[in-house]
Amino acid sequence: MVADPAEETSKDDRGMGNEERNAGQFYHVCDKDDSGTAVARAGEELHPLDMWVMDSGAAWTMTPRKDLLDAVRAPPISEVRSASGHAVKVAGVGRAAFRAPDGGPVELKDVLLVPELKANLISLRKLGQAGVSTTTNGSKTFKGLRGDRVLWDLHESRDVFRSMWQIPALIWESTKKELGEVKAGSGVQGECNAVSAAGVTVSARSGETDWETAHRRLGHVAMPLLQQLHKEEAVKGLKLSGQPNDTKCETCLLSKFTRFPFHGVAGKSKAAQELVHMDLVGPFPVRGSKGERYFLTIVDDWSRLMWAYPLKQKDHAASTIRDDWLPFVERQSGHPCKSIRTDRGGEFLGGDLTAWLKKQGIEHQLTTSYTPQSNGVAERANRTILETARALLIESGLGNSMWPHAVRHATVARNRVLTKVADDMWVPLERWLGKKPPVDMLRVFGCMAVAHVPKPYRTKLGASALWCVHLGLAAESKGWLLWEPSKNVLFDSRDVKFVENIMYGKWEKQPEARVTQQLEEITMHFDLSEPADSEVTAPTASGTDEGSNEDIAADAEVNDPEQQQQEASKTPSLPKRRKQIGGGTKDWVKVKEWVNPTIYPARTRMATRKLLSSTSGGATTEQQEQAQGEDAVLFLGDDQESDDEEPAYCFYAPIQPPSMDHALAGPQRGKWLVSRDAEFNSQMENHTWDLVYLPNGKKAIQCKWLAKIKTDEKGEPSVYKSRLVAKGFQQKEKEDYNEVFAPTAKSPTLRVLLAVAAVRKWKVKQMDIVTAFLYGIVEEEVYMVQPPGYEDGTGRVCKLNKAIYGLKQAPRCWYNRLASALEGIGFRASACDESLFLMGEGESLVLLLVYVDDILLFSSSDKEIDGVQRKLTEQFKCKSLGEARYYLGMHIERDTERGWLKLHQGQYINTLAEKYSLQEEREVVTPLPSEFKLIKAAEGEGVESEDQRQFQSMVRSLLYAAVHTRPDISFAVGQLARVVQNPTEEQCGAAERVVHYLKSYPTVGVQYSASAQLSQKGIEVLKEKGEQLGEGKVFLSCFADATWASEHEDSSSVGGYICMVGGGPVSWRSKKQSETALSSVESEYMAMFHAAKEIIWLRRLLKEIGHEQTCATPLFSDSKGAIAMARNAVLHGLNKHMRIKWHWLRKEVKLGTLDPIYVKTQQQPADFLTKRLAEEPHWRCARMAGMSLN
């Protein structure tokens, strides 16, 4: 121990005598003994428990006080014992804190909770391992340092307790109130970290920045890159205090998604301008202040420095390259441009640009068609800046009209961080300039700031500063670009104070916190000998006209009228968003036109929902209000679209909160609180549980709140849904659950009912059971802790009466309860699908299809459906949703006059493309290229594990579309699903291609109609059989096909079938055959066998719902040999080896259940289920299969 030989204090001084002081013991942990138990030895004194005692011999930091700890969890050791053999239990481990001389707290991690300990001990050994050094001056002083920061500085005093150096302890609960909640896990073992006070970061000393703020200033750069940037001193002004924080940044988690890498040849250039990569990106969903919709992205291959030019139209790209970028860069760098690499877009292949490049002696390299990865440098730059810009927009809370500023700041930041090229790393701007670039002028994008108002622009009694929002470095001056929200004007200033931890989104919604924040005053010191950002400042692009105040107003972010009124009533003098610009150029600030400033970023991500008009005047205020909701996320994206006169599109999807804590911390806190209360009240109304004390021998499972934003068919948030969920994975089989199976509606059943509804002109209505699972009765004895936020403090638990969500048996309990209720009002369960219930016959027939709590009702009469809804409402809390429009992620579109009904997944497909950052408007006409071959990778030759997980997730997502509405991708998805364990880069690219294909045609789906029930061949067949083809008749037909020995690995075949009702597909399959066929006839015969099984089931289902098939179902095949085998036992010598099960098909043919009929291959729609096809045959099959192609 570090001893203090000062004389003992008297009883009068300390309030206790020697006898009292020696009455207790304290322990300090030494090393573990052979048994794994930590050993402690006895000390001499009893020390005050409101002080931390410095102990040089302790192996762990320990305390007996639980109130000094936070985030207590299970301990790494079970007990400590003294040298005399006395052992005491370790109850937990957590984190604690004390205050440093600079006022900031110091966090201690991995502190043992030992209730029988007699003192709070700090292990100097642990602090030393974490880089803390100590110095003493005899017995006079004792100082702890980490780097240049003083963690404690103790001096001899009569207040210091005998023989020990001590520091006042901080009670964690009060510390949290004073400092704000500290992120759990922000420290490391035995490490001292500065934490946040009142939300304002405490710096170790003037001029230093903490790691988190630096991460945000540099556009949410990856922490390893920031560490290397700091370690190598690659830039100037990067002074960081403390240690890197390994806590995941929520903004990064929400904004960055990893795509599959394309590994190409990199770093071949020997000097600047030898090779330059270019890519046109856009159109942006919201126009810039001067009407910009596109960006020309340019990347120097040698340095990886990036430029970007905003353009109004695509055809401005050529003049921008020729007149603006090339002369500027060649003068600045002194290097002539030798080669450029672009894709084959029309903007790059125009006659003027091609001829000019040839005249200048510049080589124009072109990428391979439909292969963007061959221009991988530009694509990678696009992705990097896209992710950064998205992070900035999400964190800042700024509206989507601010994307030009977000991408500008993103590019400035990315040019100043390390970039890896092959096996080397460098800072692009340093390589370009030949000197280290500064970063100390960067501030967090979107944070609040106070700017000085020059005297000429204020009155004698007027304020000398005003609140504004930081939008990055100014392009035309030595200062920062700022936005004044109340007047919606841009200006620059060098006299600014920043509040980097308060973003505009938080500021706007929490005015009460605005005036209590600390400000950081900054004085800029520019090195006038250094060209400031010469690499990024560029002349105005020729395609960009000068703007005006009104131009800025056209794209101004506007607020919800109600919220605006509330904000005005609270803080009328503080900034808020306005629909109109007040004052214009009469205000003191100088409005800055948006000229082509510092390097711009990459891609605008496009999607499908029409939001903004593309008229020459830009978006209207009303359109802006629709486009810029609080929950909207702007996805910046790719390049190609048609003429500028076409409307702009953007897909806005609400961010799903990862937890209820995140939801309550966000801007919709009020809505989530109301939602959570409503859910809790539903539990009470349904008598979901009784509060009891936990019986001996029983264990209560945990529970948590989930938050989910439900959307309507347009993708707009419709319901903020809170759900209390039990952690069912803690249940034990045979103890608190038994049977768990519950049927759910089959996808073919849904499509059959919709097809029949289209033919018979049935009504289709939708309803929802509110908190459905709470109606299920729990038969087992299950206990659960009280819901978080609603505990009564008695220590009781919930004895469950009802099947709360999350219980393993909950779906089964709910299904049994619903089935019982339906049977009680006259329904009967279908023998073909237990999720389908039927009541009545003929015109009074009512069909009810249920998927958990989502219900569809079918009948020829509104009266019958309304009657069922009334009866269900008597037993359950129901919500009628009217005509079915959106069910299980599928859009149901219908034209009753024309008699057609369409099912598609447009919204799901757009969400899928956004999820994997594949929103580029790049048309792909087939799911797989015709030359694609499925070859499994050898062990160790596949992609990395992260890409493998991404591939698996993507295939699962594609499978959902393939199963429900997109038979055109069934073959492709089936192929990819067979290599999910070890995909190659080519196969990862193929999966992305399928997403691009879906994104190219998102609203293609299946369509049913009475007027197009059968193909011409089917009509001829039925007429030959004497079948009446009157209106309202429902017919079933099927096509089966196979491609023999198409699998290269084992020469297996792929078979498939499509069953059709109402002119559209109701069931389909594409699958590798389980047995190797010895001929094409065998493979076709096996395909017909599987189709026959589905036909039998569909015929039974149709009979149940009143549409019995009175003649044999046509089974079309393009194999005459397979048809002959199905009709008779011909070719016995060639098929006698086949297993008996395949010949069941003959029995059904003889019974008249189905009728094999020959059809030419050109009339075989199942062909695209068995092989890769070129564009024309692929879409021909889709049309014949009854898919809607508009």
- The per-residue pLDDT for 751 is 96
**What DSSP assignment string belongs to 422-458?**
TTEEE-HHHHHHSSPPB-TT---TTEEEEEEPPGGGS
Share of the chain above pLDDT 70, in %: 70
CA angle 1080-1081-1087, nearest 5°? 90
34's tokens? 């052979």
Burial group, residue 343, by CB count within 10 angstroms (0-12, 13-18, 19+): buried
pLDDT confidence tier of residue 855, bands split at 50, 70 and 90: very high
Band the pLDDT of 169: cuts 50, 70, 90: low
For the segment 846-851, the average pLDDT, to the nearest whole number, is 95
Give the closest residue to 776 by CA, choosing from 808, 742, 820, 810: 810
Cα torsion at 313, 314, 316, 322 (round to 10°)? Answer: 160
Q: What confidence category does residue 401 fall into, taking pLDDT thresholds of 50, 70 and 90? A: confident
Q: Assess contact for 151 and 132: CB atoms under 8 A.
A: yes
Q: Which tops the pLDDT comparison, 1104 or 195? A: 1104
The CA distance from 365 to 380, in Å, is: 18
Does the pLDDT value for residue 690 go beyond 90?
Answer: yes
pLDDT mean over 383-411: 81
pLDDT of residue 470: 92
Q: Give phi and psi for 982, each to the nearest 5.
A: -155, 70
What integer pLDDT is reported at residue 631 of this predicted model? Answer: 26
For residue 236, pLDDT over 60 is answered with yes
Closest among 1019, 1031, 1021 to 1158, alpha carbons compared: 1021
Q: Check whether 29 has a pLDDT greater than 90.
A: no
* Phi and psi angles of residue 507, each rounded to the nearest 5 degrees, phi first: -60, -45
- Residue 1032 tokens, joined: 């309202």
pLDDT tens-digit map of 70-91: 888 888 888 876 545 567 889 9
- Does residue 513 surpass a pLDDT of 90? no
At residue 491 the predicted structure's pLDDT band, cuts being 50, 70 and 90, is confident
Per-residue pLDDT at 796 exceeds 70 = yes
More confident residue, 506 or 510: 506
Strand order in the sheet with 520-522: 489-493, 480-484, 465-473, 447-452, 496-503, 520-522
Residue 140's pLDDT is 61
CA–CA dist 408, 308 (Å, integer): 9
Residue 334's pLDDT is what?
81
- In tens, the pLDDT along 126-154 reads 777 777 777 776 556 677 777 667 777 77
DSSP letter (8 states) at residue 755: H
pLDDT of residue 358: 85
Structure tokens belonging to residue 903: 């099912």
Does the pLDDT value for residue 834 go beyond 70? Answer: yes
- Report the pLDDT value the prediction gives residue 610, as an integer from 0 to 100: 26
Count CB neighbours of 631 within 10 A: 16
Compute the mean pLDDT over every residue in the chain, rounded to the nearest whole number: 74
User: For the stretch 234-249, what's the b/e string if a residue is b when 16 or more beta carbons lie within 10 angstroms of its beta carbon?
Assistant: bbeebebbbbbbeeeb
Which of 49-58, 287-296, 791-800 is most confident? Answer: 791-800
What count of residues does the chain have? Answer: 1190
pLDDT value at position 5? 33
- Rounded percentage of the chain residues whose pLDDT exceeds 90: 25
Return d(Cα 715, Cα 245) in angstroms, integer: 37
Please give the C-alpha separations between residue 570 and each of 447, 573, 746, 801, 1072, in angstroms, as whole numbers.
21, 9, 54, 46, 66
* pLDDT at position 653: 43
Q: What is the DSSP string of 694-725?
A: PPTT--PBPEEEEEEEEE-TTS-EEEEEEEEE
* 276-435+604-649, CATH topology level: Nucleotidyltransferase; domain 5 (3.30.420)
Q: What is the pLDDT of residue 1135?
A: 62
Looking at this protein, which amino acid is placed at residue 468? C
Residue with token string 């289209």? 758
pLDDT range class, residue 314, cuts 50, 70, 90:
confident
Burial of residue 322 (CB within 10 Å: 0-12, 13-18, 19+) is middle
pLDDT tens digits for 1113-1170?
Answer: 999 999 998 998 888 866 555 566 666 677 788 888 889 899 999 999 999 999 999 9
Specify the 3-state DSSP secondary structure of 1061: strand
Q: Does pTM surpass 0.85? A: no
The whole-number pLDDT of residue 892 equals 94
Instruction: Tell me the mean pLDDT in the region 719-724.
Output: 89
Q: Which of 311-325, 624-638, 722-736, 922-936 has the lowest mean pLDDT?
A: 624-638
List, in sequence order, the alpha helices (H) in 180-321.
211-217, 223-231, 250-255, 317-319
Packed helices 985-1000 and 945-964: angle between N→C axes, nearest 10 degrees? 40
Confidence of residue 1099 (pLDDT cuts 50, 70, 90): very high
Provide the residue type at 393 as one letter: L
Tokens 């010895």 map to which residue? 1078
Give the three-class secondary structure for 520: strand
Split at pLDDT 50, 70, 90, the class of 518 is very low
> Where exactly are the structural domains of the chain?
11-197, 276-435+604-649, 447-526+548-586, 660-888, 902-1003, 1007-1188
Structure tokens at 1124: 């002959």
The topology under which CATH files domain 1007-1188 is Nucleotidyltransferase; domain 5 (3.30.420)
- The lowest-confidence range among 689-693, 935-939, 1180-1184 is 935-939
CA-CA-CA-CA torsion for 685, 686, 691, 694, nearest 10 degrees? -160
Q: Which two tokens stand for residue 327?
A: 């002369």
pLDDT for 176 equals 47
Mean pLDDT of 585-591: 29
3-state secondary structure 917-985: CCCCCCCCCCCCCCCCCCCCCCCCCCCCHHHHHHHHHHHHHHHHHHHHCCHHHHHHHHHHHCCCCCCCH
pLDDT digits (tens, 9 = 90+) for 439-461: 888 999 999 898 887 766 666 66
> pLDDT higher for 540 or 912?
912
Return the minimum-mean-pLDDT range out of 534-548, 756-770, 925-939: 534-548
Place of tokens 């920043």: 498
Looking up tokens 């040849």 gives 265
Q: Give pLDDT, residue 377.
A: 84
Structure tokens at 245: 């924080």
Answer yes or no: are the C-beta atoms of 87 and 36 closer than 8 Å.
Answer: no
Q: How far apart are CA 1063 and CA 369, in angstroms?
A: 36
